[in-house]
Amino acid sequence: MSARKAVAVGAAALTASMAVTATATAADGAATTVSHQLAFSAETSAFGSALSRTSCDVNGDQVDDVVVGDRGWERGEYGQVGAAYVLLGGTDVTGGDATEPSAAGAVRLDGPPVEVPAGAWLGWSVSCLGDANGDGIDDLVVGTGSRAYHSVAVVFGSRDFGPLDLSDLGTRGYTITDPVAGTTAGGGTDNFGYAVTGPGDVDGDGLADIAIGDLLADNNGRTNSGRVWVVKGKASTTPVDVQTDTEQVLAVIDGGKAEERLATVEAAGDVNGDGKDDLLLGSYVATPWAGTTGNGAGYVVYGGGPAVVDVGALAGRGFMVAGPTRGKDRLGIAAGGIGDIDGDGQADFVLGADGATDAGIHGGVAVVLGSDSDAPVMTDPLAADGPAVYSCADGALDATCADSSKVRRGYWVQGASADAHTGFSVAGMPDANGDAVPDFLLGAYGEGSTGAAYLIYSEPERVATLSLADLTAAQGERFTSETGTGTSGRTVGAAGDVDGNGVQDVAFGGQGNNVTVALRGALSTKVTVTAGEQRVTGEPVAFDVSVRPSTGVRNAAVDGVATVSVDGAPVADLQQVPVTDGVAAFEWVGGPGSHQVTVGFVPADAARLKPTTASTQVVVGKQTATGELTLDADTAEHGTEVTARFTTAATLARPVSFEVDGVAVAAAAVVDGVATAKLDGLAVGRHQVRVSYPGDDVVSAFSTAPASLTVSAKAAQPIAVTLSSARVVYGRAVQAQVTVAGGHAVHGGKVAFYADHKLAATVAVGHDGVARARIAGLKAGRHRITARFLGSAETAAGATSPAVAVAVAKARPGRVVVKGAAFRKGTRPKVTVRVGTLNNGARPVGTVVVRAGGKSVKVKLTAAKKGKVVVRLPKAKKAVTVRATFVPKEKANVARATSAKVKLKPRR
């Protein structure tokens, strides 16, 4: 959403989520180079009262996170138990109201449900640690400001880092406690956890260790001298009791005087160049000078030394930095290691000196160069000549170095105005201006009406005091938050690269329910490209482009131009598309297919916004077309030509196909919107005719609606039967044929032949148009033969032909012959009768009747007997005359036959 489209929201939400362009200046100094700010808020005014001075990546996503304390958070009926928040970095970090943490991209670590006088105040102090458990992911520590609750929580980072109840850490961390806190005997403490930090890997075991400050510790007979515990990092989640688990305690560092309250502890880096991490401590009420109070002091304690250190006796174990002799500067109220700014291999550091509230002084910061000397370092903000941060050549604690000379050990940064409380917070900062020199942050919560935070570019060779009132753009940057309530700068922290744009960012907060993350450098941007629904070849495709910062910043002026490339090639006339208030639009005409459209954003102000690109895949379809198919007839006799006509308004580059029942039968080019085809030779029946277009580079394939065409069979021509003979013998077939006119249209058709109106045969019409049939089984007599064409696929059935007569004669057997021999008187003569084959070739079948002497003998004649039978006649004593008659079984179709008479004589 662009700024001009913003709508009104509730005051709390507005305060929580407003993104502010930082334009304030430091007095007559330079404008900040910060591009934009993100504001976070939560439920209580204590949100932001503690910040980790360094960044960490607690979820392993390679983007820095910010740890925030809120000592006033309430857990239902349990008041001010406190909480810590992790503001998760990311390219889409949003800011906002963390009352519902996920809505602001935050994770809350809830304080325990305990009843403690005035509250447990978890989150009074917080710090990133580095990797304390060896899993490769940064961890963090949450301290407490309560004088009645003395438990510090070490919380492990994880890739799924999420909300946590600090009273039930489980596998996600462990507690470090001092169970005798609150007592006054035996070294008891009553402010364990007032300060926490990650001192680095003090014991060299590869795990980050933990330093815990106890403001009001009583040790060495010194009431409220303060103590710092250094505890080993470890992978296990077993709680640590600093009184009994002594193997877990690497060192204890005690304040040097009663009531000097060793209050601040930070990692110093390797100040003396011996390869071991050192600690930086602060005691803002220390009195290194007689006759004044509130001078404050800082202490460097070298790493690798004894397990018990007294800052009142640091010879050979570190050195002191004494606050100004004028008193009430409160040097040591804040401390921070800043790295090696002068390139001598020794880490340097800063100490804040905010000034007492009744002192009327500006406040400031001492920038101290590292050294392997244990000579005390003095500070003099009022030095007119010579260094403001120095030591004496003879190593004396002497503000004037009366017996030797002053040796420069750094320089002083002076607040912009009285009571600005400059230096109330400080932190080291990686190189922020590209000169390869580490820089630092400081807060001035009393400056102006809102307070301020500064990023100061380190100047290793500087001697004179740097006045923030005269800060130039070459010397640093100033930040204010328009969503704060007047105490911005009470806390500052190097936020790392929160938004992933490759530039170090700054976090600062105060007592006003506000943490501001200043996103330095050009903001990463995100381009969204949306193509319109109309995506047709030859027609413009409309594109809408939205450009916004990748982060939650919403009121950044997003102006510039968009460049357009398609499939990797720049579109010549789309290289300067205006982007106004994050919106652009353009049209592009492309060919069919899938195209990658890439839009690049080139900001008008490259100092505030980064260029970026985004691509979208756009499928451009071909033009859709249609047409109309008409037939000049919807019915036709087989063999009749039908004209199909196709008309269309589209320009078609290829021929159209005329299809009948899905089969292409013709193709024709479209000329002046018309294509025609002649349809013939279609089979008899109902057909679906349509026109199809295969498509081309511009027009998609399509088909017309089908048109129906019915093709009827042709009428058959009259036929006549021709017989092979008009007369046949029973048992012989007659050959009949007809010729059917029509050529191929009748081929395959059938002809039925009838004898006396009864179906005698059905045969196909041959290629020659002739149907031939063998008509058998006709009985003796006269018969009428007719035929009828039954039709083919293309020709209809015809009428019955005129009748043709055929005469069927009875079949006649061959000659009947009787043969017999002489017989003895009184015996039965025997004769052989032979009946000749019928004239139709069949064997005679029937009965042979033999008559002899007035008597008859009948013998059955079967086909198996092949016309021969042997007959025994009745007994005879004299000659007999014999005659045989063949009586056919089929008397109606076969004629009778009788033999000649044969006389048989008895033998003598």
CATH code for the domain in which residue 829 is found: 2.60.40.1940
**What is d(CA 340, CA 334) in angstroms, rounded to the nearest whole number?**
19
**What is d(CA 778, CA 736) in angstroms, rounded to the nearest whole number?**
13
Tokens in use for 30?
Answer: 């330079």
Q: Which domain holds residue 751?
A: 721-809
> What pLDDT is attached to residue 214?
93
Which residue, among 693, 652, 687, 691, has the nearest Cα to 670 in the 3D structure? Answer: 652
> What pLDDT is attached to residue 674?
95
> What pLDDT is attached to residue 485?
62
* Across 4-25, average pLDDT: 30
Same domain for 132 and 217: yes
Same domain for 770 and 637: no
Same domain for 204 and 114: yes
Q: Is the pLDDT of residue 360 over 60?
A: yes
Among 324-328, 419-423, 526-530, 679-683, the minimum mean pLDDT is found in 679-683
**What is d(CA 12, CA 422) in angstroms, rounded to the nearest whole number?**
29
Same domain for 858 and 733: no
Q: Is the pLDDT of residue 633 over 80?
A: yes
Residue 2 lies in a domain: no
- What is the 8-class DSSP label of residue 302? -
**What is d(CA 482, CA 68) in angstroms, rounded to the nearest whole number?**
19
Q: How many domains does the chain have?
A: 5
* Across 702-728, average pLDDT: 89
Alpha helix stretches (DSSP H) within 671-752: none
Q: Percent of the chain having pLDDT more than 70?
A: 94
> What pLDDT is attached to residue 748?
82
**What is d(CA 99, CA 118) in angstroms, rounded to the nearest whole number?**
22
Query: Would you call 857 helix, strand, or coil by DSSP?
Result: strand
Q: Is the pLDDT of residue 1 over 60?
A: no
Q: Is the pLDDT of residue 769 over 70?
A: yes
Q: Is the pLDDT of residue 18 over 60?
A: no
> What pLDDT is attached to residue 753?
93
Q: Is the pLDDT of residue 28 over 70?
A: no
Cβ-Cβ contacts under 8 Å for 622 (sequence gap 6 or more) = 536, 537, 592, 695, 696, 697, 698, 699, 700
> What pLDDT is attached to residue 17?
30
> What pLDDT is attached to residue 555?
64
- What is the 8-class DSSP label of residue 14? H
**What is d(CA 423, CA 334) in angstroms, rounded to the nearest whole number?**
7
Query: Would you call 9 helix, strand, or coil by DSSP?
Result: coil
Same domain for 642 and 563: no
**What is d(CA 79, CA 344) in angstroms, rounded to the nearest whole number?**
50
- What is the 8-class DSSP label of residue 152? E
Alpha helix stretches (DSSP H) within 107-243: none
- The letter for the amino acid at 722 is T
Same domain for 738 and 692: no
**Of 712, 738, 758, which residue sits at a domain end?**
712
Residue 538 lies in a domain: yes
Same domain for 233 and 342: yes
> What pLDDT is attached to residue 183?
55
**What is d(CA 822, CA 825) in angstroms, rounded to the nearest whole number?**
9
Tokens in use for 143?
Answer: 């301290």
Mean pLDDT of the chain: 90
Residue 634 lies in a domain: yes
Residue 1 lies in a domain: no
Q: Which residues of 496-514 are buried (b: 16+ CB within 10 A; e: fewer)?
A: bbbbbbebbbbbbbbbbbb
Residue 208 in contact with residue 216, Cβ under 8 Å?
no
**What is d(CA 422, CA 444) in angstroms, rounded to the nearest whole number?**
4
**Of 651, 680, 712, which residue sits at a domain end?**
712
Residue that is written with structure tokens 């810590």 in the block: 84
Tokens in use for 886?
Answer: 């063949």
Q: Residue 62 — very low, low, confident or very high, per pLDDT cuts 50/70/90?
A: very high
Residue 6 lies in a domain: no
Same domain for 767 and 821: no
Residue 1 in contact with residue 555, Cβ under 8 Å?
no
Residue 4 lies in a domain: no
Positive/negative CA dihedral, 679, 681, 687, 693: negative
> What pLDDT is attached to residue 182?
58
Positive/negative CA dihedral, 103, 106, 107, 113: negative
Q: How many CA atoms lie within 13 A of 739 on its CB side?
A: 4
Query: Would you call 247 helix, strand, or coil by DSSP?
Result: helix
Same domain for 216 and 147: yes
Q: Is the pLDDT of residue 392 over 60?
A: yes
Which tens digits make up the pLDDT trace of 85-94? Answer: 999 999 889 8
Same domain for 686 and 747: no
* Across 638-642, average pLDDT: 87
> What pLDDT is attached to residue 29?
43
> What pLDDT is attached to residue 554?
60
**Of 809, 840, 871, which residue sits at a domain end?**
809
Q: Residue 564 — very low, low, confident or very high, per pLDDT cuts 50/70/90?
A: very high
> What pLDDT is attached to residue 23?
35
Query: Would you call 405 helix, strand, or coil by DSSP?
Result: coil
Cβ-Cβ contacts under 8 Å for 886 (sequence gap 6 or more) = 813, 816, 835, 844, 846, 847, 848, 861, 896, 897, 898
Query: Distances in Å between the alpha carbon of 656 and those of 538, 622, 629, 669, 699?
Result: 21, 17, 11, 6, 12
> What pLDDT is attached to residue 494?
98
479: how many CB neighbours lie within 10 A of its CB? Answer: 27
**What is d(CA 276, CA 322) in angstroms, rounded to the nearest whole number?**
24
> What pLDDT is attached to residue 35?
67
Q: Residue 747 — very low, low, confident or very high, per pLDDT cuts 50/70/90?
A: confident
> What pLDDT is attached to residue 305?
82
Same domain for 306 and 207: yes
**What is d(CA 519, CA 550) in angstroms, rounded to the nearest whole number?**
12
Q: Is the pLDDT of residue 705 over 70?
A: yes
Q: Is the pLDDT of residue 67 over 90?
A: yes
Q: Is the pLDDT of residue 874 over 50?
A: yes
> What pLDDT is attached to residue 682?
86
What's 666's domain CATH number?
2.60.40.10
Query: Would you call 625 helix, strand, or coil by DSSP?
Result: coil
Give the per-residue SS3 of 454-478: EEECCCCCCCCCEEHHHCCCCCEEE
Which residue, among 590, 688, 699, has the nearest Cα to 648 in the 3D structure? Answer: 699
* Across 150-178, average pLDDT: 97
Kindly state the helix (H) or strand (E) to which residue 388 belongs, with its residue range: none
Which tens digits make up the pLDDT trace of 97-153? Answer: 999 999 999 999 999 999 888 889 999 999 999 999 999 999 999 999 998 899 999
**What is d(CA 108, CA 49) in angstroms, rounded to the nearest whole number?**
15
**What is d(CA 789, CA 749) in angstroms, rounded to the nearest whole number?**
8
**What is d(CA 53, CA 42) in angstroms, rounded to the nearest whole number?**
20
Q: Residue 534 — very low, low, confident or very high, per pLDDT cuts 50/70/90?
A: confident
Q: Which residues of 563-572 are buried (b: 16+ CB within 10 A; e: fewer)?
A: bbbbeeeebe
Which residue, among 262, 277, 359, 363, has the nearest Cα to 320 in the 3D structure? Answer: 262
Q: Is the pLDDT of residue 318 over 80?
A: yes
Residue 69 lies in a domain: yes
Residue 340 lies in a domain: yes
* Across 485-511, average pLDDT: 91
Cβ-Cβ contacts under 8 Å for 549 (sequence gap 6 or more) = 36, 523, 524, 525, 526, 556, 558, 609
Q: Bridge-partner residues for 197, per DSSP?
A: 211
**What is d(CA 11, CA 519) in angstroms, rounded to the nearest whole number?**
24
Same domain for 322 and 201: yes
**What is d(CA 101, CA 43) in angstroms, rounded to the nearest whole number?**
10
